[in-house]
Amino acid sequence: MQRLSQNGAADATRGLAILGATGSVGTQTLDVVRLFPDRFDVQALTCDSNVELLADQVREFRPACVAVGAPERAEVLKRELSGAASEVDIRVGTEGLCAVASRSDVDVVMGAVVGFAGLRPVLEALRADKQVALANKETLVVGGALVTQALEEGGGQLLPVDSEHSAIFQCMAGEAERSVEDVVLTASGGPFWDRPAETFPDVTVKEALDHPNWSMGPKITIDSATMMNKGLEVIEAKWLFDLNVDQIEVLVHPQSIVHSMVSFADGAVKAQLGVPDMKVPIQYALSFPARWPAPHERLDWGALSRLDFERPDPQKFPCLRLAYEALQAGGTAPAVLNAANEVAVERFLNEEIGFTDIPRAVETALERLPVHSDPGLEVLVDADREARHLVKELALPTPN
């Protein structure tokens, strides 16, 4: 963010790489590209396992390079692509993601991988002076200090894609650097905002995946139900906007119309509003500082009867408290929080543990694992590995 220029080159045709092209953010990024085909040369696309969809995307966008999660998937992709698009360069794993992110024909990298896997390629992209549109919040949660360092040392730029952070970024445009007093991140509250906490142990995977306002990938949807998503976003905001913990407040706003707000030193408050549609912040990260005319759904002010705001209950949603505590502890604590949460969410989705075991697992990992201050990448990777191992092995009550 520090290196953000008000004179971006968003009007020229630019080489685009999408990390996580087959996911919710990745496919919506391609929807934006379809709206503005002259603005982008899609040079690289990646996915973990959905090679059938990736093959369709390759046939449509003709990238020079792709990356997939494992060698056997590269073989499947080769078979899928036999014929016209068979000359595409196929890379594998983290090395593949890093190669894609730093290609010379790529100007802009959309970071839309889910989880810790996004950190290394984002660092590579910034070190190669790319403009990075970042959806992958876990990258900043785990490696915010390293990302900040890469921005300070190189010619890379970072633009937020997460809707709340895009809102804050839009509110801050044109404002003097030290004029921000605090920010409010709005949260939908997820599907269980009104549900009595006593029934949380009975929450099923299907119920937790049923988000009221946003259609997203499974991991972030579960994070929204536990409110860990908002906790991760608090840490994300700290790094993007250079804020202290006590400058970041969370308010539940069930309508998801106000995407976030910023209070300034003179008492003025700016908010950014709109229909909940990720294509809007995705497009802004790609068009900044321009705004390209687009047919995204408009707010119908007359149909908006009310906008509600409420403080979240930290007893009911312990993940939010845990994220604030990890941010305050600093060092490797947010990496432990993130890794423990990634594994706990996966175990919940596999129906191995219950919904309330997610915060239990994260809290256990934070209690048991030491905090190392000022970690480099290798120390973060170790902390991530230890927390994953701990939560994978943790005996927790299974759901009914």
Residues lying near Mg ion in the complex (CB under 5 A) are found at: 162-164
Question: What is the end-to-end Cα distance of the chain in Å, rounded?
Answer: 46
CA distance 130 to 132: 6
Kindly write down the DSSP assignment for every residue of 283-342, as one continuous string.
HHHHHTTS-----PPPP-GGG------B---TTT-HHHHHHHHHHHH-TTHHHHHHHHHH
Of residues 15-34, those binding ligand NAD (CB under 6 A): 20-26
Is 124 one of the binding residues for ligand NAD (CB under 6 A)?
no
CA angle 243/20/33 to nearest 5° reads 90
Q: How far is the CB of 4 from ligand NAD (least distance, A)?
A: 19
**Non-local CB neighbours of 37 within 8 Å, separated by 6+ positions:** none
Tell me the C-alpha to C-alpha distance, in Å, between residue 125 and each of 29, 31, 157, 261: 18, 23, 9, 29
Residue nearest Mg ion (C-beta atom)? 162
Q: How far is the CB of 111 from ligand NAD (least distance, A)?
A: 8
Q: How far is the CB of 118 from Mg ion (least distance, A)?
A: 15
Question: Largest Cα–Cα distance in the chain?
Answer: 63
Kindly write down the DSSP assignment for every residue of 219-269, as one continuous string.
HHHHHHHHTHHHHHHHHHHHHHHT--GGGEEEEE-TT--EEEEEEETTS-E
Is 114 one of the binding residues for ligand NAD (CB under 6 A)?
yes
Q: Which of 41, 107, 124, 138 binds ligand NAD (CB under 6 A)?
A: 138
Residue nearest ligand NAD (C-beta atom)? 23
Give the chain's radius of gyration (CA, Å): 20
Of residues 358-377, those binding ligand NAD (CB under 6 A): none
Q: How far is the CB of 128 from ligand NAD (least distance, A)?
A: 18
- Binding site partner of 154, from Mg ion, ligand NAD, none, Cβ cut-off 5-8 A by kind: none
SS (H, E, C) 20-87: CCCCHHHHHHHHHHHHCCCCEEEEEEECCCCHHHHHHHHHHHCCCEEEECCHHHHHHHHHHCCCCCCC
- Binding site partner of 90, from Mg ion, ligand NAD, none, Cβ cut-off 5-8 A by kind: none
Using the minimum distance from each CB to Mg ion, give the nearer residue, 57 or 163.
163
Is 231 one of the binding residues for ligand NAD (CB under 6 A)?
no
- Binding site partner of 24, from Mg ion, ligand NAD, none, Cβ cut-off 5-8 A by kind: ligand NAD
Q: How far is the CB of 259 from Mg ion (least distance, A)?
A: 8
Of residues 151-170, those binding ligand NAD (CB under 6 A): 162
CA distance 237 to 242: 8
Q: How far is the CB of 136 from Mg ion (least distance, A)?
A: 12
Q: How far is the CB of 187 from Mg ion (least distance, A)?
A: 8
Tell me if 115 sits within 8 A of 97, measured CB to CB: no
Q: Of the listed pieces 58-66, 108-116, 258-266, 314-322, which binds ligand NAD according to CB under 6 A?
A: 108-116
Q: How far is the CB of 381 from Mg ion (least distance, A)?
A: 26
180-187/157-160 β-pairing: unpaired
Using the minimum distance from each CB to ligand NAD, give the nearer residue, 134 or 150.
134
Using the minimum distance from each CB to Mg ion, give the nearer residue, 41 or 164.
164
Neighbours of 196 (CB within 10 A): 8
Site string for ligand NAD, 31-60 (x = CB under 6 A): ----------------xxxx----------
Residues of this chain that interact with ligand NAD (CB under 6 A) are: 20-26, 47-50, 69, 112-115, 117, 135-138, 162, 214, 216-217, 219-220, 278
